Structure 1
Amino acid sequence: MSTTDGSDDSLAPPEITTDQVLRLDDERFTTDDVAVVTGAASGIGRATAIALAVNGLTVVGLDVDEAGLEETVETTESLDVDGRMVAAPTDLTDGEAVESAIDAAAAEGTIRYLANIAGMQHIASIPDFPMETYDQLMDIMLRAPFLLSKHVMPHIRATDDGVGAIANMSSVHGRYATRDKATYITAKHGLNGLTRAIAAEGAGTLRGFSISVGYVLTPLMANQIADTAEERGITEDEVIENVMLGQARTKELMMPIEVANLFVFGFSSHARHLNGGDLLFDGGYTTTYE
């Protein structure tokens, strides 16, 4: 399942260029090594797929949005990349489709990395939250990462050195709670637990880590603004200034490529001691207050 497409062109990150990408020398960043990236049709998933391809990996992008995936492939091919990008249209709520996607990824090379990024959002209070939406969100954001990890871990263990990593896109909402996002918060807290479980079973070489950021300028976030404004009875400008950036010390929204660079670092050998931990890049959102 992909992130939701945004309709407000004024809330769109700039086009990705290779000079924005963190480039690292790593002996396992080769086209023979595969990184599976979910949500690769847009937002953070797209940026991460591109950044990993720039660093020389073969990237297999999973998303239900086939057109968006093709745009990611086209963007990757238009840039100076040492790796390559392969589209694998997949409904993450379909268990057989997920297993087939990992089989297809294994046919592209040696699977070493998995980035669980795909997500969705729904703004509503707990009493008003529709349970069918709860089930869909949990399927995409918690069940699918668990299932993907289940299928990917044997591939990493079967490599010549057992080295690889599974990264989960968490959030400041995996550390604390705000109003009207109960299911999203529940899923992100669950992802943090999954991250630690992967690390516990990874024998030191198969690492699990998470990435937690504040508000990132993605299509998913753009759609949240209007929903949050309606739910709280405030203007959209007030949502950005007071809800999204009000508590942060860094008064700028993050760009998807900035988050993607954290995945690049986390997958690299430079981060070999990052295991079971969380990369918190939130501008002071969760650790400071006035």
Structure 2
Amino acid sequence: MQKKTVLVTGSTSGIGLAIAKAFAQQGYNLVFNGLETDGAQTAAAVAEEYGIDYLFDPANMLDPEALRTLIGQAEQKFGGIDVLVNNAGIQYVSPIVDFPEEKWDAIIGINLTAPFHLIKAVWPTMKNRQFGRIINIVSAHGLVASEFKSAYVAAKHGLVGLTKTAALEGATCGITANAICPGYVKTPLVDQQIAAQAQVHQISEKDVVEKVILAKQAIKQFIPAESVAAMCLFLASEAAATLTGASLSIDGGWSAQ
């Protein structure tokens, strides 16, 4: 059987890297994407470790033409994208009245508009093959809101809606679309938030984790990136062929409250 190919955006660090490694372990061809300066080296190291074929492209999520080029290169090399994981995202925290408009535009662009462009670009080949898996890494903030995160919450709620629409349109041609909604995953970006909040609130990093970061989760633990990756593997599998349009929480009970 021909190997399947997965594209994971934002896959050279954090959650995206964990997802990429999980698919690599299963023998998928990998299309890596990321803006880190060592992104190409990270992609090469994963490919070598698991003995897979790969492509790395540092396409900026704010550049629709670069995204179309990314898909074109991947289709030329591998014949098509079987699994699209929209993972890349950014965050900014501020009251609405002070929220910088350029930050709003960037957050909506990367977290919502980029997935639209990528879904649109992979759709024709997926439809022609009568197979496709679209997996959007959303957030608990796609289901619930928090203060001072207007752009992020709006984008993630929008991504849930886009997921449902793609699921309905793909139902007759073998394409499924689902959203994974994690709570806080301990990544380098979250580590930075913890340190910054400790300084601002003049409390310990331990108190930041317990009283600020994980305050809304019933299970006071970070979500392992590997758990998100495992859910992606399931959604990409034949076992999930009839699971579509779902928003799957892995948030320690946050959205159950």
- Conserved 8 A contact 2:135-2:177: yes
1:171 touches 1:211 (CA, 8 Å); kept in 2?
yes
The equivalent of 1:85 in structure 2 is 54
Given residue 185 of structure 2, which amino acid in structure 1 is its aligned partner?
V
Q: In structure 2, list runs of 5 or more residues that go unmatched.
A: none
Query: Does the C-alpha gap of structure 1 residues 167 and 231 become closer, same or farther in structure 2, counting only changes over 3 Å?
Result: farther
Structure 2 Cα separation of the partners of residues 177 and 234 of structure 1: 25
Task: Tell me what 1:37 maps to.
Answer: 8
The answer to whether the aligner puts 1:264 opposite 2:233 as a matched pair is yes
Residue 285 of structure 1 pairs with residue 254 of structure 2: yes
Match of 1:67 in 2: 38
2:158 pairs with 186, 190, 198, which one?
Answer: 190
3-state DSSP of counterpart to 1:47: helix
Report the Cα offset of residue 140 of structure 1.
Answer: 0.7
CA distance in 1, matches of 2:109, 2:204: 32
Q: Helix, strand or coil: the match of 1:108?
A: helix
1:135 aligns with 2:98: no
Identity %: 36
Q: Does 1:156 align with 2:130?
A: no
- Structure 1 unaligned regions, length at least 5: 1-26
Question: Structure 2 length normalisation: TM-score?
Answer: 0.92
* 2:168 aligned partner, one-letter code: A
Alpha-carbon distance in structure 1 between the residues aligned to 2:148 and 2:53: 40
Cα offset, 1:141, TM superposition:
0.7
Q: Deviations over 1:34-74 (max 9, x none)?
A: 11110011001111111111112111012222512421331
Pair 1:230–1:183, CA change in 2 (3 A): farther
Aligned to 1:220: 189
Higher relative CO (Cα under 8 Å, sequence separation at least 6) belongs to 1
Query: Which SS does the other structure have where 2:81 is aligned?
Result: strand
> Which amino acid in 2 is paired with 1:53?
A
Aligned amino acid, residue 169 of structure 1 = I
2:144 paired with 1:176: yes
After superposition, the CA RMSD in angstroms is 1.9
How far off is 1:169 after superposition? 0.7
**Which residue matches 1:145?**
115
Report the alpha carbon displacement of residue 94 of structure 1 after superposing the two structures with TM: 1.0
Contact 1:137 1:183 in 2 (8 A): yes
Inter-partner Cα distance in structure 1 for 2:186 and 2:194: 11
Task: Report the counterpart of residue 68 of structure 2 in structure 1.
Answer: 99
The 3 A distance-change label for structure 1 pair 40 and 199 is same
- Show the counterpart of 1:126: 96
What is the distance in 2 between the residues matched to 1:232 and 1:128? 20
Q: Does 1:246 align with 2:211?
A: no
SS at match of 1:35: strand
Query: In the aligned structure 2, how far is the partner of 1:230 from the partner of 1:176?
Result: 27
Bigger mean CA offset, 114-123 vs 64-73? 64-73
Q: Compared with structure 1, are the counterparts of its residues 49 and 106 closer, same or farther at alpha carbon in structure 2 (3 Å cutoff)?
A: same
**TM score, norm. by length of structure 1:** 0.82
Structure 1 residues 206 and 231 mapped into 2: Cα distance closer, same or farther (>3 Å)? farther
